[in-house]
């Protein structure tokens, strides 16, 4: 009988549980034995691998986080460590592994395939930074979390006629910032895809307030600037009272939206079917409304998705 394992790796994302459940149910329905690996590649190397039954994944579809837990485990870059991980699976006659995570986790999966493990990846990251797919699990929930927070910040910013600089996650990808800036009618967007500079921000805010706007929300992707220091700088340069809010890890939690659950369940089913069909070294995704799968290397080298329409939409509608 075929045996498969599932793990979650890298930063967690709402919807990972729904994806684990879907892979497990798809496989169990075909009489395949399913194992959960705890703590990502770390747990794999340490042999933290436990068999699922049908009820292991019950009551998980609505839960944020990952019940398999996750980890960042830099030791996994080492080929000898990868070999130990492959042996842990082979010792249990587990031939296949589904990895739910981001690009780093997919590279780990690709490495494992060199040791004869059948691997399939499911994109799970709030950053939405995988260009081969239009969406990854968790992004929609994170954007909704940001939108809810900014709606609240708008209330207080408007009462006090302030500027509020809101830092959101995304690593090197501006999708969370871009989507939430559009959805909240923010007044300024700073993301890796826009040419951010302090000077341009200050000039824009000065223009906004001289045009009669009484408060402003600036949405900014992390790592572009230091928000608290920037708030002081903006206030000093413009005379506009300015505050900074770093939304941080709140963006990684919470019950997944219906969109993310649907994505997770669909990706999970596809991943399970690919395993059954003997396909390896592929990652699943969604492109132009179609569920797809591509070789890991092709997916990781996909051309950068065009974000210009969204950025222009923000600029003309803000």
How many C-beta atoms surround the C-beta of residue 286 within 10 A?
A: 18
Q: Which of 169, 186, 244, 296 is in the footprint of ligand F6P by CB under 6 A?
A: 169
Work out the end-to-end distance of the chain between its first and last CA atoms, rounded to an integer number of angstroms. Answer: 58
Q: How far is the CB of 75 from ligand ADP (least distance, A)?
A: 7
The site that binds ligand F6P (CB under 6 A) totals a number of residues, namely 10
* Cβ proximity to ligand ADP, 73 vs 267, nearer residue: 73
Do residues 146 and 154 lie in contact, with contact meaning Cβ atoms separated by under 8 Å? no
Instruction: Confirm or reject binding of residue 103 to ligand F6P (CB under 6 A).
Output: no
Instruction: Confirm or reject binding of residue 123 to ligand F6P (CB under 6 A).
Output: no
Instruction: Confirm or reject binding of residue 252 to ligand F6P (CB under 6 A).
Output: yes
Annotated catalytic, 127? yes
How many C-beta atoms surround the C-beta of residue 52 within 10 A?
A: 22
- Please tell me which residue in 12, 103, 127, 175 is annotated as part of the active site: 127
How far is it, in rounded angstroms, from Cα 151 to Cα 26?
39
* Cβ proximity to ligand F6P, 125 vs 157, nearer residue: 125
How far is it, in rounded angstroms, from Cα 7 to Cα 180?
30
Q: Which of 63, 92, 171, 307 is in the footprint of ligand F6P by CB under 6 A?
A: 171
- Chain residues binding ligand ADP by CB under 6 A are 9-11, 41, 72-74, 76-77, 101-105, 107-108, 111, 125
* Cβ proximity to ligand F6P, 35 vs 135, nearer residue: 135
Q: How far is the CB of 93 from ligand ADP (least distance, A)?
A: 24
Phi, psi of 291 (to 5 degrees): -75, 130
Instruction: Confirm or reject binding of residue 127 to ligand F6P (CB under 6 A).
Output: yes
How far is it, in rounded angstroms, from Cα 234 to Cα 158?
17
* Cβ proximity to ligand ADP, 72 vs 305, nearer residue: 72
* Cβ proximity to ligand ADP, 16 vs 18, nearer residue: 16
Measuring CA to CA, how many Å separate 236 from each of 32, 232, 239, 242, 244?
64, 6, 6, 9, 14
Q: What is the DSSP string of 265-315?
A: HHHHHHHHHHHHTT--SEEEEEETTEEEEEEHHHHHTPPPPP-HHHHHHHH
- E-strand spans in 26-153? 33-37, 49-51, 96-101, 118-123
Select from 16, 12, 257 the least CA-distant residue to 122.
16
Instruction: Confirm or reject binding of residue 8 to ligand F6P (CB under 6 A).
Output: no
Q: How far is the CB of 171 from ligand F6P (least distance, A)?
A: 4
Q: Which residues are catalytic?
A: 127
Q: Which residues are near ligand F6P by CB under 6 A?
A: 11, 102, 125-127, 169-171, 222, 252
């Amino acid at each position: 009988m075929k045996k498969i394992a599932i793990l979650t790796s890298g930063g967690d994302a709402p919807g990972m549980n729904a994806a684990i459940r879907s892979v497990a149910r798809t496989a169990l329905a075909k009489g395949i034995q399913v194992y959960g690996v705890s703590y990502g590649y770390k747990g794999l190397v340490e042999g933290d691998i436990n068999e699922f039954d049908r009820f292991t994944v019950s009551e998980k579809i609505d839960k944020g986080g990952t019940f398999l837990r996750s980890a960042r485990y830099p030791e996994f870059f080492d080929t000898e460590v990868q070999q130990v991980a492959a042996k842990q699976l082979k010792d249990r006659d587990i031939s296949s592994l589904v990895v739910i995570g981001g690009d780093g986790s997919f590279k780990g999966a690709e490495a494992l395939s060199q040791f004869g493990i059948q691997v399939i990846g499911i994109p799970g990251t709030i950053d939405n930074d995988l260009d081969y797919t239009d969406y990854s699990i968790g992004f929609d929930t994170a954007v909704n979390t940001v939108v809810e927070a900014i709606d609240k910040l708008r209330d207080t910013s408007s009462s006090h006629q302030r500027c509020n600089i809101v830092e959101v996650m995304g690593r090197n990808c501006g999708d969370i910032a871009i989507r939430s800036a559009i959805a909240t009618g923010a007044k300024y967007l700073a993301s890796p895809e826009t040419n951010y500079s302090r000077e341009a921000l200050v000039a824009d805010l000065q223009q906004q307030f001289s045009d009669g706007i009484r408060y402003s929300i600036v949405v900014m992707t992390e790592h572009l600037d230091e928000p608290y220091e920037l708030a002081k700088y903006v206030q000093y340069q413009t005379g506009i009272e300015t505050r900074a809010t770093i939304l941080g890890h709140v963006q990684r939690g919470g019950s997944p939206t219906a969109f993310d659950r649907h994505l997770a369940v669909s990706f999970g089913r596809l991943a399970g079917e690919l395993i059954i069909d003997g396909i390896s070294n592929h990652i699943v995704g969604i492109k132009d409304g179609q569920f797809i799968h591509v070789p890991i290397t092709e997916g990781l080298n996909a051309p950068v998705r065009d974000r210009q329409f969204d950025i222009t939409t923000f600029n003309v509608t803000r």
